[in-house]
Homo-oligomer: A and B are copies of this chain.
Amino acid sequence: MPEEWATFGTDLHLSISRPGVRVSLERALRTAVQDGRLRPGVRLPSSRSLASDLNVARNTVAEVYAQLAAEGWLTARRGSGTAVSAQVATSDGPAPEIPPYEQESLLPYDLRPGTPNVLAFPRGAWLSAARAALTNAPPDAFGYDHILGRPELRHALAEYLGRVRAVRTTPDRIVIAAGTVHSLSMLCTALKRRGASTIAFEAYGWHALVAAARMQGLRTVTINVDGAGARVDELYATNADAVLLTPAHQFPTGYALSAERRRAVAQWARATGGLIIEDDYDGEFRYDRQPVGALQELAPDRVAYLGTTSKSLAPGLRLAWAVLPADLVESVRKVKKATVWSSDAVQQLTLNEFIRSGAYDRHVRRSRLVYRRRRDRLVLARDHRAPDVPFTGTPAGLHVVMTLPDRLAAHTDDELCDLAASRGLAVHGLTTYRIAAGRDDHPSLVVGYGTPADHAFEPALDILFGLLAPR
């Protein structure tokens, strides 16, 4: 049955006219190649399959293919079928190359913060979880349902976040998102639709989050940061409807929000009706014995808790979650439905299997050990080579802040970063993460130790301390 056979072929869109099928087919194919619609290297259907699709004789197609091959438009190779010639010149010229990397450093060594070691992504374990997910997925997972996220994953996250981060929630208050930018974007849209106008950020942070709030039309203001975390007392003067905080490990200064300020900001939220948005971006990575739980526990009805796999697994997965106060769930559902609809069910079910099988805990604990050792090596290198450079933020996370001593005061941090770049090392100054206007008193570097491959970590430290060590 030729029709059944054609089922396993290749699709090709061609408009031909009758009579004159042969001439018409030849012209249609030549034009499609010439004007670049059929790009060099594209495989064409077999003559049998195309003949069946177009309802013409197989020989007609075979003759047209042979003619165009003779003219150099197509190439035919035994066993691999007919394809558009790789050397053909199209009116478009060659397809523009997409630059392979948009942000990635072209330097051999990278100590910028914000990305875990992507070489350590557990490909095999993730594939096993994907296999289990695809095997066990109920058919409705492939449909349009569940705007907020798959129930299996939301149950698993409620348990996980309660156990590991002391988050108080139930599955029905969790929404799955494509990253913390997405969680924040949905929250800002929902707040704006309720009449909110202003959101406060810490004076230092990740510019992408500020951009997300502005994209939704919110005004942004800042509060200062000191050794006890964000100066939440400043919130009263801002008239902010919401504040984004990084309480466990301020990004990037590294301080934890003090117990007193945790109570104070919960009090601010209750007094003003403001919303606390807790960005727990690296809450899994704490190395000392005294854990710092989520602020959300203090005021579950005033805090939206944002978590992500971007540091614990990989940013490329785009898998994150927000734990919402009950009165925000329906608004966020409406926003998500009218902007992205739902989230990828296969990836959600894969993460669900990954968590339930214990693979997530194992991966986090293994990574924590690796990163703690890197942190220890970083501190040791400092102690040996530049003992007058103070660090902050060492008890947790994937980066530290180094305050530059007076002997390096001739340099701005940008100048020092340029100098590092000239020696092959990408590193950022604190200025890069400054949200508030103004200048810093002490030039500082934000040194990430998550990103490098294992073999690149020591050489990166060598370059860094070559710059920082006293002459």
Q: Nearest-CB distance from A280 to chain B (Å)?
A: 12
Chain A interface category by residue count: 35 or more
Cβ proximity bits A211-253 to B, threshold 8 Å, 1 near / 0 not: 1101100000000000000000000000000000000000000
B147 and A102 within 8 A (CB): yes
Inter-chain CA distance A102–B166, complex, in Å, is: 29
A347 interface residue (CB < 8 Å to B): yes
> Given A38-B162, A121-B142, A96–B172 Cβ distance below 8 Å?
yes
B114 and A316 within 8 A (CB): no
- Give residues of chain A (103-118) contacting chain B, Cβ–Cβ below 8 Å: 103-104, 114-115, 118
A423 interface residue (CB < 8 Å to B): no
Inter-chain CA distance A208–B339, complex, in Å, is: 9
Q: Which of B142, B172, B189 lies in contact with A317, CB distance below 8 A?
A: B142
A79 interface residue (CB < 8 Å to B): no
Q: Enumerate the 10 nearest inter-chain pairs by beta-carbon distance, A residue then B residue, closest first.
A: A142-B314, A316-B345, A118-B142, A215-B338, A142-B316, A98-B151, A37-B162, A318-B344, A211-B338, A11-B164
A104 and B145 within 8 A (CB): yes
A382 interface residue (CB < 8 Å to B): no
Which residues in B have their C-beta under 8 angstroms from that of A170? 92, 95-96
Inter-chain CA distance A104–B297, complex, in Å, is: 35
Q: What would 21 A/B residue contacts be, using CB atoms closer than 8 Å? A: A9-B361, A13-B166, A37-B297, A42-B159, A96-B171, A100-B140, A101-B145, A103-B145, A104-B140, A121-B142, A123-B137, A126-B346, A130-B134, A142-B314, A144-B310, A179-B340, A208-B337, A212-B339, A318-B344, A340-B340, A344-B347
- Closest Cβ neighbor of A119 among chain B residues: B139
A146 interface residue (CB < 8 Å to B): yes
Q: A181-B337, A211-B337 are in contact. List 17 more A-B contacts (CB 8 A).
A: A8-B362, A11-B361, A15-B290, A37-B167, A39-B158, A42-B163, A101-B145, A102-B145, A118-B142, A123-B137, A127-B130, A143-B314, A178-B343, A178-B344, A179-B340, A208-B338, A214-B338
